Amino acid sequence: MTPVSLSTTIAPRTGPDAALRQAATELEAAFLTEMLKSAGLGKSRDAMGGGAGEDQYSSLLVRAQAEQIAQSGGVGLAESLFNALKDSQHDG
């Protein structure tokens, strides 16, 4: 049985603006990481024993989740940043 993905992943773009789009997506992922952390995602639970290793793994998991959200379209921050930066490059 093949798993079905319900997300609409944005295809990687190529061309002169690819690096700018990638930077905007990475910034959105960093923003989402902090938002998810402040929402309590990734906090250690006593059920697993806790400890430094679990805290480290949890932060990596939150970051991976944020990156996946950003790659799947995110909250629109990357697109807004990309458009603003692209406009500023062409105006200057």
Residue 34 lies in a domain: yes
Residue 45 lies in a domain: no
> Which residues, in sequence order, are CB contacts of 18 under 8 Å at separation 6+?
12
Note down pLDDT in tens along the chain; length 92 residues: 444 444 444 444 577 789 999 999 999 999 999 999 999 877 766 655 667 777 778 888 999 999 999 999 999 999 999 999 899 887 76
Could you tell me the residue range of the domain that residue 35 belongs to? 18-39+50-91
Which class for 24: exposed (0-12), middle (13-18), buried (19 or more C-beta within 10 A)?
buried
Residue 31 lies in a domain: yes
Q: What's the pTM value of the predicted model, to 2 decimals?
A: 0.71
Which token pair is 2? 């093949």
Provide the pLDDT for residue 47: 58
Residue 57 lies in a domain: yes
Number of domains into which the chain is organized: 1
Provide the pLDDT for residue 45: 63
Provide the pLDDT for residue 27: 96
